[in-house]
A and B are shown apart, each in its own frame.
Chain A
Amino acid sequence: MAGLASLTAHELGARYRDGTATPTQAVTECLARIEALDPQVRAFLTVTGEDARRRAALADARFRAGTPYGPLDGVPMAVKDLLCTRGIRTTCGSKILEGFVPPYDATVVARLFAAGAVLLGKLNMDEFAMGSSTENSGFFTTCNPWDLARVPGGSSGGASAVVAADMAPLTLGTDTGGSIRQPAAFSGVVGLKPTYGRVSRYGAIAFASSLDQIGPFARDAEDAALMLGTIAGADPMDSTAIDVPVPDYRATLGQGIDRLRLGVPAEYFTDGMDPEVEQAVRAAIATLEKLGARTEPVSMPHTEYGLAAYYVIAPAEASSNLARYDGVKYGLRATGARDLIDMYSKTRAAGFGNEVKRRVMLGTYVLSAGYYDAYYGQAQKVRTLVRRDFDRAFEKVDLLVAPTTPGVAFKMGEKADPLQMYLNDIFTVPVSLAGLPGVSIPGGFTQAGLPIGLQLIGRAFDEATLLRAAHAYQSVTDWHTRRPALQTGTADRTPR
């Protein structure tokens, strides 16, 4: 049964139901692809082959008995190593959590298991989700399946690469300032960041509590809808997961976008951006118009301040969330310490990479006595201004359309300066600050064959419209069906 690994989850589900394929067959194929390709792509930190086969067999039995759990039953997937999985080591891409085995599952993981999904493994990421290239992983760098010398984006680089390389149809990543959307753009797949509060964060190792969200990577809008519908919804374990009903995202996918009002924010087309990206996005807008949408320009005057506000708020919250990594209860503990404080300081110095240290220092600084009002206080107010820009725009339009990133996948090692790296996020960060949903979908390729991402931004809790528009776009384009030409065989990718 070749080719099962390249099917979408909804296609697989159909094959399971009509008996022309079984979960074990699909999972076996995925595992074989992982074995053949991951030495080059390096997306996986942990492969859970045995567990996967066991879950697949249980799914087989349910289909034979005619009692499958639902559309995700037996579907292979993998999750970013930021999500806690009971009994399976979870590192968050960091040496400081090497060996940590959580005694509990994240809520989203539990929901996927309850739906019958089959976990293939845990995926590589920038350490503690801090980064835009996966080069900050404490272990190694993941390679972009479209060009192994380039980054897949970050921080959910492993999750985007797996879908791009057909190692699984669905993965879960997290997005704080763009960490789902940007790698989706760089890797040529669909990546959706839900509204803040749409999906439970319980069990997701925290980076920036007021910004983090968990979301799917998929090949098409329908699969993203499937995954989102399974993981979304209130959770008594997460006070910030709001009790808003979860619509049937798939039911409205095919309704088209006739007369949908699209806003094109002027500030998202900047001078420094890659002209090919701009061109592709403008072409995509034209396509959307042909589908019946009506576009109009909107202005979001505080866009340029979003990144600065983000780089105060996110490191501040991160410095707090990472205070617990101290060698006392779990993870790495430095040896040879004189006393407790020495142990703390040596453990954290040994366990954290440079980017994490930088953000912890920055975050600690902006929260420290005397600086709070000028930095953190001010950034929180600017956050309000950024949010108001969106509120005003959504008075006139239903969706915003923009590029996901100013450029395409860059070469490993190219963005050595931290600030240069941060500038990758200028189009994704404001959406995070406003807590709104955003999706990146494949919108074209550069001459050199690198994927270009198109970003759609919606009102709070209106993921249905995002997905509907994405689906409409995908019904008349084929960017999302293209696959990188990965050869199985020996690889010589140098780690970070």
Chain B
Amino acid sequence: MKIELTEELKEEMKKLREEFANLKEQLKDVTEKERERKRGIHIDVGTNVREYIDDVMEGVAEGIHGELEKCVFIGPKGVKILRERPSHRREHQIEVSLPKVAVVMSALGHEHRLRILKELMSGGKYINELQEKLSEITTSTLSSHLDVLEEAGLVVQEKVRGRHLITIPGRTAYKMARRVTRFLERRDYK
């Protein structure tokens, strides 16, 4: 299959070269005539120029061949064309799970949990370190808040070390919550 494709490519390149040579000849005639008409100067396309154009054509051919090799996969089951879709199109195709949104928003909907996330933004912490920072929250309440945050995927706990860490979604959600609040305050939507 690969040999066939290479042969087809070679054939295409041969035709392109012939067309290009014809066009070059035509252009040469037109240019010569035009120049003769205007200034009476005759310029021959030298060997170096031809070589240069041939080199360019070779480069183009290699480029096309390289691109084909990248996007055409020839396997035991035949030829497969690999197409990479733009990322913004993929984003639109992802279904947003509303129950999941509700879980995340619910986890963010408590001042104590937001304060926990804020503390974790500066690095992972053991529960006693969090307790020191958030002394008004009892240990049992703190644990249940951490469970809610963990359930929503905003916080993860190291089972061996015991530290609690804010996850990438946790950071994003915390920043987003602050941005939304700032936006609402600025617009005075209360």
A pairs with B: no
A residues within 8 Å of B by Cβ? none
B residues within 8 Å of A by Cβ? none
